[in-house]
Structure formats: structure tokens, C-alpha cells
Structure 1
Amino acid sequence: MDTARTLGRTRRQVLATSLAVGSATIAGCGSGTEREESNNGDAESGEPYSVTVAHLGDVEFDAVPENVFVTFPQYADMLVALGHGEAANTLFSPEMAGPTMNMFYDHLEGVDFEWEHLSNPLEHGLVEEQLYDLDSDVHLLDPSYVLTTEGDWEESDIDEIAETIGPWVGSFHSGVHSDPADAYADDYEYDTLWELFGTIADVFQERDRYEALEAVYDDLRTRIESALPSEDERPTAARVTLGEDEFYTYHLNAPGFWQADTRPLGADDALADYDWSGDWGVLDYEAMAEADPDIILHLWGITPQYDIESVRDQLEAHPIGSDLTAVENDRVVAGGMRYQGPLMNFFQLEMTAKQLYPEQFGEWPGYVPGAGYPEIPADEQLFDRQRVADIVTGSS
């Protein structure tokens, strides 16, 4: 690292971190049930507090962060959910994530996210100069991600950013339970989406909001699980992204929060017998025809990145794709984003439940690109929009 960049700077006293190895005080399961408090002190009274992250130890704060480095959209969604959306100073792929998030928020009175001024911090790789320029109170990015994807970063660089600017908080590898960097491997713990959200809530001292939203989630999960058909009556489904004469493929029921909108629904994964190294696989049309799912959930289909109608047209025009059962039965549907926070997860669980099990949860009205998340009849909504909005805006 070029230490000349830090000349003239004083060491940050507002926010600092201790990266000593520690064990997390996180407990619970995928339903987001019990979880121990991991913060000490009281930010409102001016006392320091700490948040425990298994592979980072006790991350210390003297004040609630107001200027926040945000990478993947799940963290931005968490900030919005906690009433701190305005603190974000960056966002990964803002032109995709921002409109998609607001498409959901349009159904939550008083909730929105101003993303247009945010730049993509990973567009050209993670650049240390940018981190110094942003001078963030906290970096919502797993430093293990940095070490495993950014070849010119070393552990000493991670430590210096934490000590001179602000700490790191995140758990990237919890997305698909991938292997963390060697520096963190011994202490790494895989969090569910709601466990990770709980950690972020502790960073911002918003435990009440978190617990209120968690209660909505528990109700939603209970409603879904109680109405699921028996396993032998569930359809086969495949989660894919259509590429150039190939499919990027993902497992529906694999561990990790990237599957937080599909795993709870327990559909029969048509690609379960296919294995791949890394976060996803690649199959050609012949292999997809062999799997022949009843339903194709097209990942990213609700984002501006893909036009689901164009995807259907491409499949119908292909000599093999046109014979797929999902294509013949008009069950190629727009799926959600993997990078989902709690608010996005509410809508994506509702959407996917209706796409997979219309008899149990009501027909999915369909997604029209550019038209927003469709209106769902009040008696077929799977969670209370107003309750969520009131929690987020502090009206409850």
C-alpha cells in the first residue's frame, strides 16, 4: 500500500475496529428465530459499543455510522429497512439494483431509496484511493471477499483501511457457503440472511426495527410452510439465467442466503443431480432438455438487466428450447435477485410462492418489464405491506 495517501490524515477516532480473532455470539436457524445480543454499550448515550462477527472479532463503534460504504444490494436493502438508507455512499450495479429495490418499495408507503447519485464501487475493482476519498464510517463488505477476488489486496491492506478509515462488516461467503480466504477460514461462520441482517441492525443500533421485521418474516414463513403441498405433489423447477446458447444454473435448495427466496418453498430442483464447482454452473440446451423442469425461474428477470419477454422469445425460437415443458406451458417466469435484503425477500418469497404453487397461494399476475411489481389482491397478499412500511418509517 502507498502510505503516502495517508499523509496529513489523523487516525479516525469516531470509528475503529479490533480485528482480533473472536467467536460470534450468533445463534438461530434459517427462520430467523432466537439470536443473542452481540452489541455492548449504548450509542445513544455516547458510550462505545461493539458488534461481534465470527471471522472479524469484536468490531467497535463510538457512534452510529452516518456515511456507509455499500457494495451488494442486500446491504442497501438492510439500510433502508433500518431507516438508514440515506447513509449509503455507493452501490454495486446501481442501475440494476436501484430501480429493482424501488419497484418493491413502491408498495410500501413512505419507503424509497435515492440511488441515482451512487457509483458502483466494484466497477473497476476495489480501489484503495476510492475508500480514502469516501472516508466511510463503516464498509459493508466482507474483507474475505476482497482477499479472494482482488488479487492486489493483502491482509495488511485490510487492516490499515479498518484502522485509518472505518471497519469492515459483512459475510459474502454465506451466500452459497463458498470457501473464505485463508486468513479467515478458521473462524468463519455461515449466516442466514436474517442473521446477517441482525448483525447490520446491531451496527446501526436498530434492534427494535430488526425484531419487528423478523416477526413479519416468521409469520410469512409459517404461512408458506403450512400451505405447501406434499413433496410428491410439488413441481420440478430450475433457476437459471439464459446466456448465449447456454444456461447459467443455480440450485434452488442449496444452503446460503442467495437462495432465501427459493429454499423455503421446497420445490423439486430439476438440476439437483448436476454438480459444479463455484457459485454456479453452465448447461447447454441438451442438458436442460434432459432435466426438463416444469417451471423455469429466470434469475434477475425482474431487474432492468433482462427482459423476460425477450428470454421467452429466445427459448421459443430455439429448436430444443421450444420443446421444453416450461416453455410449452408458458411457465418461464421472471425470478428475483440473489442479492436480496429483508424487504426484497418479503416480495420475492411471495412472488416465487405464487409462481410455484398458484393453487395454494393465488395466481401470479405475471411481470411486465417496466411496469413494476404487479398488484396483488389484498386477500392474496402473503404479508402485510402496511405493517412493514410502518416499521421501516417508524410509524408503528
Structure 2
Amino acid sequence: MAPMGTVEFQSPPESVFTVLLHHADMALALGYGDSLTGMYNPEGFEESYNTLLERLDGVSVDWSDLVDTYNPDKELLYELDSDIHLEDPANMVLMDAWETEDVEEIRTNVSPWFGNSLSRNHSEPPKGWADRYRYYTLWEIFGKVAEVFQEGTRYEALSEIHTNLLSTIESGLPQSDDRPRTARVLLRKGIWVYQMNGPGTVRAHTRVFDVEDALADVPNASQIDIEGLAEADPEVVLVDGGLGPEWTSTKQQLTDEPAAQSITAVENDQVYPIGVRYGGPVMNVFQLETIAKQLFPEQFGEWPAYDGGPYPEFPEDEQLFDRQRMVDVINGDL
């Protein structure tokens, strides 16, 4: 896989260093969630994931005590002595504390790198990495990670769940003219805009719906004020990272603003929480179900009133993917 090229392992790794969440999610999906030695924002992402995993009986994560590995000192990787660095070496070089020589040193003295992170937004690789770089879909990356762990059967089973879910969504989508103009934002010390459509793994759960992005003209990951959102006047607002115990107060940051009262989504109470944007396959499956229900309740069943807490519990006939099958696959009961 780019940018590493061919990487060989004598056996499946037993200890797994990660940084970005999509790789940690992949380890979880393949049954290695307890093998992590570190990750970015472990406490916050433990909460985000257990909010979802409440609905996968027998699956949970215990990440809060892991070391935070964003822009780590090189010495930390020696101390952790992981069997694999499940992270993109090009992404490491983009961090302040790292150079290409450092990732080569760790590869030689500790263990290989294996990951792809710049596919998130199709970001430009650092100097010296462009010729060996390419972009993948989320599930292409996951498939290659599964090969490292010799978990091809588990990957195929999870991929089938994902493919069936996409088929359900695509067959139920209304005509383009009947899809709501939608904005996707992060409410954190202001309003941050994230695009619905276009390439990149961070849009794997939104572009499938092919809705009109009410903020398509605003650069990705840039900030706007409430007046700018009111001018765009989306029919639906999806709030990144909204799922969880803080949802009510997060939503009120937007809906309590006087200038927000004219926004169609606010008037119609169609401001909804979605999960974190950097997730992997487990998060992706939940996100697809979430957004399908929020945007198209007539086709996929209603998203319920939600004031925080665990992911909503739906009757079996309203679930868009088989929870028990997903539990069985993650736990290795194939």
C-alpha cells in the first residue's frame, strides 16, 4: 500500500501503535481493539465509540488510559515497542516533531509503518513523498490492513455488511430534487464547515446521499458566522461529533442564536448529531444508517428525538444493518 510499498510481516501484529482514528477503528473491527498501544485523543474517542457500541452487545473499547500519540516524541515509539505502527509515515512527517529520517529510523529499529491517512481529504503529501503516494477509499485501506492481520475472512464479512447497507440506501433514495439542501458543520468555538460531497474518506458517509451541499462554496474546514449559515439557509444541518452526552448543549450553541431562527433547519427542528468525521469501518456503518434516517425518514425510518447518551435503539425491522452479525464478525464468530 502507498506510501510504504511492500511490507512483510512474519505473523499478525500483537501490539498496535496508531495515531488517527480510522486506523484504530480498523484494529477494533478486526478484533484487535485491545491491542492498541496508543492513539490520538484516546479518552474522547473512547466515549465516541462506546456511544455507538452500546448497540453492539459484547463489543466495547477501553482506550482512555492509552497514551496520546499525536506528534509524539520519537522516544515514545521506542518505549512502546509496538509490533506495527498502523499509521501513514507521510502523515507523521507532516507533524512538527518528525522528519523522513525519523520514520525510517523507527521502521528499521522498532517495526514497520503501515497506513494511509492523506486519503482523508486527498491532502498533498510532504516534500519527497508525492511520487510514492496514492489515494484510496476507506474500505480499500481497510482491506489492506486486514491482510496485515491475516483477517481476510473477517474483512469480507464486514465488507458484505457495508455493501448491503449501501445497496439498501441507494435503492431507497428519492429523486435528486426531493433531497434536502444540507449543511455539515462542527460546532466548536464557532461554526466550522465540512463538505458533504467530493473525494476523501472523511466524506465516505455523506457523499453517498448526493444531496445539495448548502455550503459547497465555503472552503472545507473553514469558519463561518451564524449570519453566513442563515444566508445559506440549509433545510438540514448535520453536526459532526454531535452524538454523545453533550448533544443538547452543543445543539443549543446553534439553535439559541437569534440569527439562527430564520434557518429552515432550525425552524423545522432538523439539526441532527452525527458521529466523528475521522472514523473507520465501524463508525462508517453507523454513520450511514444515522444520516439515512435523518435525511430520509420516509424511506428509512425516523431518527428519534435525541438528547444525548447511547446511540438510539431501533426496532429490528427499522435497523439498516444486522447488529448481531456485526458483533459476531468483530468477535471472530464467523
Give the structure-2-normalised TM-score: 0.96
User: Aligned pair 1:107/2:55, yes or no?
Assistant: yes
Give 1:268's aligned residue. Answer: 212
User: Aligned pair 1:333/2:333, yes or no?
Assistant: no
Moved more, 229-238 or 54-63: 54-63
Pick one of 154, 172, 176 that aligns with 1:227. 172
Give 1:8's aligned residue. Answer: none
Measure, in 2, the Cα distance between the counterparts of 1:178 and 1:325: 33
Give 2:119's aligned residue. Answer: 174
Give 2:235's aligned residue. Answer: 294
- Secondary structure class of the residue paired with 1:59: coil
- Secondary structure class of the residue paired with 1:110: coil
Measure, in 2, the Cα distance between the counterparts of 1:308 and 1:105: 17
* Contact residue 3 and residue 88 of structure 2 kept, 8 A: no
Residue type of the alignment partner of 1:291: A
- Secondary structure class of the residue paired with 2:282: helix
Structure 1, gaps ≥5 residues long: 1-52
Q: How does 1:129-168 map to 2 (within 5 A)?
A: 129-150=75-96, 152-168=97-113
Measure, in 2, the Cα distance between the counterparts of 1:104 and 1:243: 21
Measure, in 1, the Cα distance between the counterparts of 2:187 and 2:32: 35
Q: How has the CA–CA distance of structure 1 residues 239 and 311 changed in structure 2, closer, same or farther, with 3 Å as cutoff? A: same
Residue type of the alignment partner of 2:80: L
Give 2:33's aligned residue. Answer: 85
Give 1:32's aligned residue. Answer: none
Q: CA deviation at 1:303?
A: 4.2
* Contact residue 308 and residue 333 of structure 1 kept, 8 A: no
Give 2:162's aligned residue. Answer: 217
Moved more, 89-98 or 314-323: 314-323
- Secondary structure class of the residue paired with 1:220: helix
Give 1:324's aligned residue. Answer: 263
- Secondary structure class of the residue paired with 1:286: helix
Pick one of 199, 203, 206 that aligns with 1:259. 203
User: Aligned pair 1:194/2:139, yes or no?
Assistant: yes
* Contact residue 292 and residue 326 of structure 1 kept, 8 A: yes
Q: Deviations over 1:196-224 (max 9, x none)?
A: 11111011110010011101111100000
How many aligned residue pairs are there? 334
Q: Deviations over 1:229-264 (max 9, x none)?
A: 0001100110101244x4100110121111111111
* Contact residue 296 and residue 331 of structure 1 kept, 8 A: yes
Measure, in 2, the Cα distance between the counterparts of 1:134 and 1:255: 34
Q: How has the CA–CA distance of structure 1 residues 127 and 303 changed in structure 2, closer, same or farther, with 3 Å as cutoff? A: farther
Structure 2, gaps ≥5 residues long: none
Q: CA deviation at 1:155?
A: 1.1
Give 1:127's aligned residue. Answer: 73
Measure, in 2, the Cα distance between the counterparts of 1:316 and 1:218: 36
- Which has the larger helix fraction? 2
Q: Which has more radius of gyration?
A: 1
RMSD: 1.4
Measure, in 1, the Cα distance between the counterparts of 2:76 and 2:244: 27
Measure, in 1, the Cα distance between the counterparts of 2:60 and 2:34: 10
Measure, in 2, the Cα distance between the counterparts of 1:302 and 1:161: 37
- Secondary structure class of the residue paired with 1:57: coil
Q: CA deviation at 1:91?
A: 2.0
* Contact residue 184 and residue 239 of structure 2 kept, 8 A: yes
Q: Deviations over 1:54-91 (max 9, x none)?
A: 22111121221111102122222211211111210112
User: Aligned pair 1:67/2:21, yes or no?
Assistant: no
Measure, in 2, the Cα distance between the counterparts of 1:71 and 1:243: 22
Q: CA deviation at 1:315?
A: 2.4
